[in-house]
Amino acid sequence: MPLYEHIYLARQDVSPQQVEEMTNNLTEVLSQGGGKVTKNEYWGLKSLSYRIKKNRKAHYSLLNIDAPAPAVAEMERQMRINEDILRFMTVRVDELEEGPSAMLQKRDRDDERGDRPGGDRDRGPRPPRRF
């Protein structure tokens, strides 16, 4: 069966539990069509580069899919109907990634650095200002 990576953006108004419920519904649609979801990642609420349907933020989710094309088409049809989904994109790939995606690796790296930009490194005292 063909392999796909699918990313969708849900409105900022919905809760993470509702996003998880939407993902479960999409997984069910795919399984009824003879496919399966091999990986499911919730990337969290992130700022958008530009407003989409009056939303400045969106919940991002990634699905790695192993399903026939008609099942993916049915899933996309259901996503077009759902008002809570702002955008989605499905890309056919040759092979699926193992382990966490680049977005989750970035979040782990950011957590290690701390809250400050630049991490917890100490830069020492500032040099005196010259006027």
Torsion of CA 94, 99, 101, 102, to 10 degrees: -110
Taking a C-beta distance cutoff of 8 angstroms, is the pair 78, 61 a contact? no
Strand, coil or helix: 130: coil
Whole-number Å distance between alpha carbons of 131 and 126: 15
Question: pTM score > 0.85 for this model?
Answer: no
Query: Could you give the percent of the chain with pLDDT greater than 70?
Result: 87
Q: What confidence tens digit (pLDDT) does each residue in 55-87 have?
A: 999 999 999 999 999 999 999 999 999 999 999
What length does the chain have?
131
H helices present in the chain, as ranges: 16-32, 69-81, 102-113
